[in-house]
Chain A
């Protein structure tokens, strides 16, 4: 039974990736989870410099989901390379580094630094964080911006380049296409949905940043639809995410068109879920006589539409 998948030149032992922003720098989980058993670990978004992020409250629970506005608190790329990366290597983790800049030059600089560092498997370009004004999302919400960041990074690295797309646009597929034309190796989607919650007694926003990103099971059907749309639009591998909490959810994304998936919010609730989800995938493959998990990618059967009882 073959659970491995390919993201550009990167071969993953299985399709499960810990989602950026939901798994710290990975090392926090080393005592609880066998990092080497994951397909990969996407570490928390890194800028060149350290950042403090937003003041609390940074999260609020919503129906079957949560909003966050952390503000990309982080230690900066240099400390990451010096302190966290060696530890991740020791644990045998396949490391995808999520990078974030306020200018194209910053993305390029980050890509250069990380390409020279030992133990980085791929770069995920954060052009989709909804919680900071000054970076990322400005590129992610413009087709030319997306194209420009991806092609600039593409020129300076041999690592797989994976822009992470925002769902807060009219047509995500066109952004996947822009990324493909610019030389991306894959796209990952979706980042969180810009959202808001209000305490009606105090009439204050529940997040210090006023708005935040919605994640969790609440967004899953929308994310599945967006992965499906991107699958129709590009040939690139897609890394799907959005509210995945169990084996069934993973399968839904794969069938919609994802090659691999990221699990984020569910990891907060159930940090030891990984081995169970993998086992579930194996059981499913056995039950459906599937030899290689790649066979599932984009295997959605829409044939019944042609035999619809009532046609429109």
Chain B
């Protein structure tokens, strides 16, 4: 059930100059959020900035009795709204609407789940990894960032039983280069008989490269898109992405309600990259 919560900021963990994790007191949302779903946050009171911003639910945090009590979001400072949220102090109230969007479908064993994250694209994968652990699905995270200090929460994934394959563009941790390089190698080294589903989130060129690799290796691939959104509920038609079904003509669909998770084969990638 959708809830609009005046959520108190319980914590704002500043991970670096650019990244922070904002913990929000939002039990009704924490209780029903599915892997990969998102919330719409109002960065400040009043009308400037006017609109809410979409954020993947990063963690679902539990209270003393194990009850879902709070959610966190992984925020990267990029514009006016994200800068306000980066600066916000504990005790502040933030309007939080959610959960929204179609969740990831977690595969079950013996299938394997391979998550591919670039930078802030890590955000939707904690909830997915948690579900995969519950299902007993073998999971791998390919995670790339610019530099070692921007690879966050690796231990959290390892604690969830996820095998991690790391990469940094400057080579300070893991494989040097883009995350798609180790992904390519691992895909090539894996027998066709292993049933694998890929899940990707990150910069559009990265997701497109993952989608190509998936297609080359005939692996299903779901991507979680980040679009500019007005409402998150299907009212405004601003967050559309061009999709196409086999034999069909390209068609704009709303990523807030038809997504944010899409089958990579259905997306017209040229249109996404503008």
Contact = CB atoms under 8 A, between A and B. Distances in A.
B175 interface: no
Interface in A253-312: 265, 267-272
Given A29-B235, A53-B240, A68-B238, A63 B48 contact: yes
Chain B contact-residue range equals 20 to 34
B245 interface: no
Contact of B52 (A31, A53, A68, A269): A269
Contact of A245 (B47, B95, B231, B239): B47
Interface string A46-90: 000000110111110101111010100100000000000000000
A75 to B, nearest CB: 11
A28 B50 contact: no
Contact of B233 (A32, A53, A57, A216): A32
B238 A61 contact: no
Contact of B237 (A55, A66, A73): A73
Contacts of B233: 24, 28-29, 32, 271
Contacts of A55: 242, 252, 271
Contact of B236 (A32, A68, A217): A68
B230 A268 contact: yes
B230 A59 contact: yes
B48 A28 contact: no
B2 A23 contact: no
B4 A268 contact: no
A24 B258 CA distance: 14
A24 B234 contact: yes
B90 interface: no
A3 interface: no
Chain B's interface: helix, strand, loop or mixed, by majority? loop
Interface string B60-88: 00000000000000000000100000000
Interface residues on A, range: 35 or more
Given A32-B233, A272-B4, A56 B50 contact: no
B236 A268 contact: yes
A31 B47 contact: no
B51 A28 contact: no
Contacts of A53: 237, 240, 252
Interface in B230-265: 230-231, 233-242, 251-252, 257
Contact of A56 (B49, B52, B227): B227
A268 B235 contact: yes
Interface string A32-45: 10000000000010
A22 interface: yes
B228 interface: yes
Given A56-B227, A56-B228, A73-B252, A65 B50 contact: yes
A61 B50 contact: yes
B97 interface: yes
A203 to B, nearest CB: 16
A44 B235 CA distance: 9
A66 B50 contact: yes
Contacts of A245: 47
A218 B51 CA distance: 13
Nearest to B97: A271
B249 to A, nearest CB: 9
Given A53-B252, A63-B48, A271 B4 contact: yes
A136 to B, nearest CB: 17
A55 B240 CA distance: 8
A244 to B, nearest CB: 12
Contacts of B47: 64-65, 216-218, 245
Nearest to B235: A24
A56 B272 CA distance: 9
Nearest to A52: B252
B235 A271 contact: yes
B267 to A, nearest CB: 13
B42 interface: yes
B269 to A, nearest CB: 14
18 contacts: A28-B233, A28-B234, A32-B2, A32-B233, A44-B237, A52-B251, A52-B252, A55-B271, A56-B238, A58-B240, A59-B230, A59-B238, A61-B49, A66-B51, A268-B231, A269-B42, A270-B4, A271-B233
Interface of A: 21-24, 28-29, 31-32, 44, 52-53, 55-59, 61, 63-66, 68, 70, 73, 216-218, 245, 265, 267-272
Q: Which 6 A-B pairs have the closest CB atoms?
A: A28-B234, A268-B231, A59-B238, A64-B47, A58-B238, A217-B47
Given A52-B251, A65-B47, A68-B238, 15 more contacts: A22-B236, A24-B234, A29-B235, A32-B2, A53-B237, A53-B252, A56-B227, A59-B228, A59-B236, A61-B49, A61-B51, A66-B50, A68-B236, A70-B237, A268-B235
